[in-house]
A and B are shown apart, each in its own frame.
Chain A
Amino acid sequence: MSAFLEIKNVSKRFGGLAANSDVSFDVGLGEIVGLIGPNGAGKTTLFNCITGFYAPTSGDVLFKGVRINGLQPDAVCRLGMVRTWQKVRPLAKMTVLDNVMVGALVRTHSLRVARQVAQEQLRVVRLDHKSHFLAGSLPIGERKKLEVGRVLATKPELLLLDEVMGGLNQAESEEIILLILELKKLGLTQVVIEHDMKAIMRLSDRLVVLNSGEKLAEGSPTQVATNKDVITAYLGEAVDA
């Protein structure tokens, strides 16, 4: 059986700038793959290429064996792959419940069903006590939770999380980590972009490291942590004494 998500030689160029060049890796069913790299390494661009916001300049993205580059984001979402945004995008003038209902309405035409699904998902991300607040009034920690709850309501099979822990305090991050692990137990495949190294080491089954748009390394967290190239990319070249 082929991998759940296959990224094959994906390149994305903006004029002369190569944001991604020749990136390839697979994501297996039920796996958590961590995507790391310094700022500007092309992580978010890759997410945009995978979810249909950008068309890759070359290369292919296969989801469940189907070639999906060229599909629009809404079609990708209906296929079962959905992403969160690094810069959260709450639907500010709608309530928290309505925000999650928008996600749920991808799978149903009934507002009643959508409301039930939304309430369930708000319980999962522990935001049900705020369901009638306007999304724009939430603090950042709860906005991140809302972002996750909203994508969960679309009943995804593959979740792409773009720095869901950015800007959170330790207690809030811990909550999100536990949530991600809980979702994994339920069989949800996830690709996680994260800058918090401790968190990503703990979460990921495998790590993919991007640097300057290219794949630098791939492997288990310990393999990657001891990889010489990775250390160089993050900390700079060692100075010989």
Chain B
Amino acid sequence: MSSLLRSLRTPRGFSAPAFLAYLAVIGLVALVPQFSRKPLILHMWIMVFLAIAQGSAWNIVGGYAGQYSVGHAAYFGIGAYTTMLLLELHQIAPWYGIGLSMLNAVLLSVVIGSITFRLRGPYFVLASISMAEIIRLAALHFKDLTRGAEGILLNGIPPLETPWFTVKFLGKVPFFYTSLGLAVIVISVTWFVQHSKLGYTFQAIREDQDAAHSLGINPTLHKNLALMLSAAFTAAAGSLFALYVRFIDPNIAFGIDVSVQMVLICIIGGIGTILGPVVGSVVLVLLSESLRNPKWLVQAGLLADSSPTVAFIEARLSNAHVLFYGVLVVVVVLFAPEGFLGLLRTAVARVKKRLAAKPTPPSQPAAAA
């Protein structure tokens, strides 16, 4: 155990206080359903957790390895469809289904990666979009397997029976904990990626693929590894989403807005950082869900039930979240290219500098950032 801990400790790596803070935050969030079981509030949390899982998964290949895939709906959708079809057609319980859907997504990522990673930059982006579109159109067309545009409606989820307890997937609380668990797993995986040889390799490829290649890194292999990891967790998020919403069709599961949202989460929060997707998810989900379903603000006690704001949003802005996304992206790209997290970091650095400038005697040299 101690040797494991030692191997985790690197100068910018494992720090006990940060780890304890992480555990404390998870513990606090896990207590939420004990205090409030208002469905719209829990719904918000679940959507945030699923967004964190998707954003962090995308971040592995997009943020660390620098391959801006705008086709991650392919993995999200394949995860959703695999789990749903296995459950509806073959009565295979979703906890096996999620595992199989991750496997399926990894296989798909190998195929898509081996085609698209021959391209770089904007050409890769376009190829990744077209791959997801091909799969979406295939899902619409092959009705025998996917039921096409009709979609798949879930009748019920069998209870999960373990020797110790039984979980019935009724209401929102079980989904709160499963999606929280998934978010925690993906954040932890990202942490391990960043603090391992793999993370250095991915970032070297992001910064300069030819330089990385000349320094003994196989770019094709490592881009595919990043994509496989990313695809597996995107599929897990897709599976959970499908089980939670209980209905999918090709546009919900494979639509381009699914892909775009994953990218936006990272751009807005801070690309290539562990906490960026967390921040981005909170911002984006709050924004989009508030516009789509402002009633949660009432349940949260922020607005009165009769508030004219709710009526206004419902009447005028219910589909305007895409517009707000657009404005938000422009603002972030112009004024905070490193995302909200970058903004926060520069603000903290500025405050520290100002605090340090006053009391410190001039003899102390300024430390390098």
Contact = CB atoms under 8 A, between A and B. Distances in A.
Contact of B207 (A83, A91, A114): A91
Interface stretch (A95-103, A175-183, A204-212): A95-103
A89 B200 contact: no
A109 B10 CA distance: 14
B323 interface: no
Contacts of B216: 74, 77-78, 82, 103, 106, 154
A90 B212 CA distance: 10
B230 interface: no
B200 A101 contact: yes
B211 interface: yes
Interface in A77-134: 77-78, 82-83, 85, 89-94, 98, 101-103, 105-106, 109, 111-112, 114-115, 130, 132-133
B210 A53 contact: yes
A145 interface: no
A138 B208 CA distance: 16
Given A74-B218, A78-B216, A82-B214, A91 B203 contact: yes
A93 B213 CA distance: 17
A150 interface: yes
A109 B215 contact: no
Contacts of B15: none
A74 B203 contact: no
Contacts of A213: none
B350 to A, nearest CB: 18
A106 B272 CA distance: 23
Interface string B182-222: 00000000000001110011011011101111111111000
B368 interface: yes
B217 A91 contact: no
A111 to B, nearest CB: 6
Interface-centre pick from A51, A74, A109, A115 (highest chain B CB count, 10 A): A74
A89 B210 contact: yes
B211 A91 contact: yes
B369 interface: yes
A217 B272 CA distance: 50
B215 A150 contact: yes
Contacts of B213: 53, 72-74
A77 B208 contact: no
B10 A77 contact: no
B215 A154 contact: yes
A169 to B, nearest CB: 24
B197 to A, nearest CB: 5
Nearest to B220: A72
A152 B368 CA distance: 25
Contact of A89 (B197, B211, B219): B211
Nearest to A102: B204
Contact of B204 (A73, A78, A94, A151): A94
Contacts of B368: 130, 132-133
A85 B212 CA distance: 12
Interface-centre pick from A82, A90, A102, A115 (highest chain B CB count, 10 A): A102
Interface in B137-152: none
Interface-centre pick from B10, B204, B219 (highest chain A CB count, 10 A): B204
A103 B219 CA distance: 14
Nearest to B199: A111
Given A72-B218, A102-B215, A132-B368, A91 B204 contact: yes
B197 A103 contact: no
Interface of A: 51, 53, 72-74, 77-78, 82-83, 85, 89-94, 98, 101-103, 105-106, 109, 111-112, 114-115, 130, 132-133, 150-151, 154
27 contacts: A51-B214, A74-B213, A85-B211, A89-B208, A89-B210, A90-B207, A91-B203, A91-B211, A91-B212, A94-B203, A94-B204, A98-B200, A102-B201, A105-B200, A105-B201, A106-B215, A106-B216, A106-B217, A111-B196, A111-B197, A112-B10, A114-B200, A115-B11, A130-B368, A132-B368, A133-B369, A154-B215
